[in-house]
Amino acid sequence: MFPFVAPVRDLRFVLEELLEYRSLDLPGFEEASPDLVEAVLEEAARLAGEVWAPLNASGDRQGCVRREDGGVTLPDGFAEAYQAYAEGGWNGIGVSQALGGQGLPEVVASSVQEMLHGANMALGLCPMLTAGAIEALAHHGSDALKATYLPKLVDGSWTGTMNLTEPQAGSDLSKVRTRAMPCPDEEGDRYRLFGQKIFITWGEHDASENIIHLVLARKPDAPEGNKGISLFLVPKYLVNADGSLGERNDVTCASIEHKLGIHGSPTCTLSFGENDGAIGYLVGEEGRGLNHMFTMMNEARHKVGIQGIGVAERACQHAFAYALDRVQGRARGAEATISEHLDVRRMLLSMRARTDALRALALYCAAQLDVARHAADAAERDAAQGRVDVLIPVVKAFSTDQAVEIASLGVQVHGGMGFIEETGAAQLLRDARIAPIYEGTNGIQALDLAGRKLSRDGGAALAGLIDEVEATAGELRESGELAALGESLTAGAADLRAAMALVLEASRDPQRGADAVQAYATPFLSLAGHVLCAWQMGRAALKARAAEAGGSSDPFYRAKLAAADFALRQWLPVGRANRSVIEAGMESLADYRVTLS
């Protein structure tokens, strides 16, 4: 596998030139500066490239092992690499200083996350889940729980997990059966949990002192359905009053999954209460566990999108390096590397353009998160949150779907060498394939966008984004040599606006509204993803053209213009076809009956 080099130059382009470091102007970030951010990116790149990335292939080959005592041994070097991450203070980079973190903007934390996931996706899952646990506990935990658990989670001494899924309760969490029994005779507000959770990422390992599980469960008197679910904190080791670790809690790793990819990430079946019950503590309000867990899930969904982009970036680098090295065939009368063949160039440029576009959109979303959390004006915060709510399902679903396609193209660039494990291209495809599935399948993300998010405000937040797309298209049309890009983006914006109207109209049908949303959701999200990503590449083209007009001869800008041209004139038209899919109606889907014959 070729060495991984974190894409610091492109990250800086997005932060400096597209986003203009506006997050640094928000209240709370007074001590941050562009120079500090650049230093953070460079140091994170060193950690990603020199410490994490070399373990990616070996971790995939070795995998995790469940020991007879129920513990899990990670691949060689993983625990040490995680410790280097924690000791460097990276776990708290985006956490407020009031909670013991570095207090940097979310857009910077997301940039660091992308580098780490590109270096080693399996290892990156550990801090990604911990970040979600911090977010949920900070928002909903009692003062006592925060005081006991947040400092160690923030500094990375302890890691966090999210425990939702059960054998009978996958996407439908109303079926959760894990029980939480009150313990009125015991000291403190304790519960004892009994049940089993499956697919728990980093549910057991030997990289940290303690593991803090956030678990959905029901009290004995809880009603059926979602309203009966509460959220509980269950530590692997109980914590004494002085903060030291006490006895082992009654939570056990029953098995680890043998997966298609991310072999270095221990995905566990956890058993709670094989003996007297796993001691847990209520987080937030009783019966609102699902609501509280969504705080963690929304954090995780954005980061899963970032994760997909990281893997896509590594697939790009891998394919470009191979194409420049592999001599095959002839071009212009001489032996040539495959990078000289136009069909290979088409694949490489497609990979690069898509990855750049996805990155820009995900970091735009992160910047909006910063505004939603920190802007002084309430109306500005609310408007940004509306955009975040629309963008997160797009970032999660569209980025991860595209990452699978990008990694698949990477295999194709390698030809037959891509289909064998030794080159490493296959691992990237295998690893990327989980991202469209977990943290809510991409079909669920599409339903969230086309259903709940559009209906909540009648499409106002998305319409506001389309207005900005059209403004960028206008700038492109007036720019002279970029006019063709503007025409393409204008057409894409019109398609998205028309499709949004169709979905909203269909959703109001009293007879088949819910079915219509289900039928149109996935093509609608795909259309939104293509248009919003093309918008970002249109903005990138304007910035690159301005840099060249200002005298820059940096080849980076010429490459950015090529990627933008491909994105708007060759990739966006493919996505625009989704409008026709929606206009074709839902009758064939509604009438189809699934049979085995």
What's the token pair of residue 384? 């940004």
CB 526, CB 575: distance < 8 Å? yes
Give yes or no: 587 in active site.
no
- Do β-strands 179-182 and 191-201 pair in parallel, antiparallel, or remain unpaired? antiparallel
CA 269 to chain centroid, in Å, comes to: 23
DSSP state for residue 74 in the 8-state scheme: P
Catalytic residue among 114, 313, 340, 439: 439
Residues 6 or more apart in contact with residue 86 via CB below 8 angstroms: 155, 156, 157, 208
Cα separation, 91 vs 93, in Å, equals: 6
Task: Report the Cα 189 to chain-centroid distance in Å.
Answer: 35
* CA nearest neighbour of 27 among 127, 85, 96: 96
The pairing of beta strand 267-272 with beta strand 191-201:
antiparallel
DSSP string of 457-468? HTTHHHHHHHHH
**Of 105, 33, 103, the residue nearest 363 (C-alpha):** 105
Q: In this structure, what token pair is assigned to residue 293?
A: 């867990």
Q: Provide CB contacts within 8 A for 577, sequence distance 6+.
A: none
CA distance 464 to 41: 32
Alpha-helix runs per DSSP H in 261-377? 289-325, 342-374
Cβ atoms 351, 446 nearer than 8 A: no
Cβ pair 270, 245 in contact under 8 A: no
The helix or strand, by DSSP H or E, that contains position 161, with its residue range, turns out to be strand 158-163
Cα angle for residues 118, 303, 571 (degrees, 5° grid)? 70
Active site residues: 439
